[in-house]
Amino acid sequence: MSHTLVLATRNKGKIGEFRRILDAIAPGEINLIGVDEFADLVDVEETGKSFEENALIKARYTAAATGLPAISDDSGLCVDFLNGDPGIYSARWAGEHGNDQANLEKLLAQMKDVADENRTAHFTCVAALALPDGRIHVEEGFFPGHILHTPIGENGFGYDPIFAPDGLSISSAQMSAEAKDAISHRGKALRSIAPHVIQILRSLG
C-alpha cells in the first residue's frame, strides 16, 4: 500500500534526494510529492531561530493546509570561522533567497584570507514530520568538512561546489548523488526519520 507524504519544498533537488533515500528504505511504499502539487498553497515564512523551529513551522503548516502527513527539512552550512554562519540564513546569505551563485561568492569573499586549517565547517539538517492530528517527530544529521578556495564540480546544489567532506579530496558537487546521500547531513537526517515515517504512515491504514 502506498502512502502519500508531502515534502514541504519546491526545490527539485531536495525532492529528488528525499525520494531516492525513501525509495531505498521502503521501495514503492511512500508516494512523495512536493508542495507544487497544491496550487493554492503559499510558502510559509520561516521565522524560527533554529533549524528545528523552521523545519517544524513548514511541516506543521503543510500538514494542516493539505490534510496529509508532511515532512520538511531545514538545513544550512555552518562555518566555524564565521561563528556558525550562514546557518539558518544559508539560502539567503547574499540577500536573495535561493541565489546559489551570489551566496557562494559572498561566502568565498568572507573566507578569502582564511588559512586552510581555519576553514572547517559542517552542514546541518533537521528533518521534521508533522501529521494533521498534531503528532510530530524530529531528527538531525551533520556533514563535516571544510570550505574550498574556489568552486569545483557540477553536481548537487547550494554550497556543494565549495564544500569538501572530511576524508575526501573532492567537493560534494563532484560526488555522485548516491555517494553524497550516503554521508550527507540530509541523508543522515532522513534515514534517521524514515523508520518513524514508515511506522506512523502504516498505522494510518
169 bridge partner residues: none
Which entry of 43, 73, 74, 113 is annotated as an active-site residue? Answer: 74
Give the angle 164-169-170 at the CA atoms, nearest 5°: 55
Amino acid residing at 28: G
Report all structural domains of the chain as residue ranges with CATH numbers, in order of start. 3-203 (3.90.950.10)
* Angstrom distance (rounded) from CA 164 to CA 171: 4
Give the angle 174-168-138 at the CA atoms, nearest 5°: 80
Residue 123: is its pLDDT beyond 80? yes
In tens, the pLDDT along 159-177 reads 999 999 999 999 999 999 8
Residue 13: is its pLDDT beyond 80? no
* Angstrom distance (rounded) from CA 75 to CA 142: 10
In tens, the pLDDT along 74-108 reads 999 999 999 999 999 999 999 888 799 999 999 99
Q: Do residues 71 and 31 touch, judged by C-beta distance below 8 A? A: no
- Show the cell assigned to 184: 550527507
74 is catalytic: yes
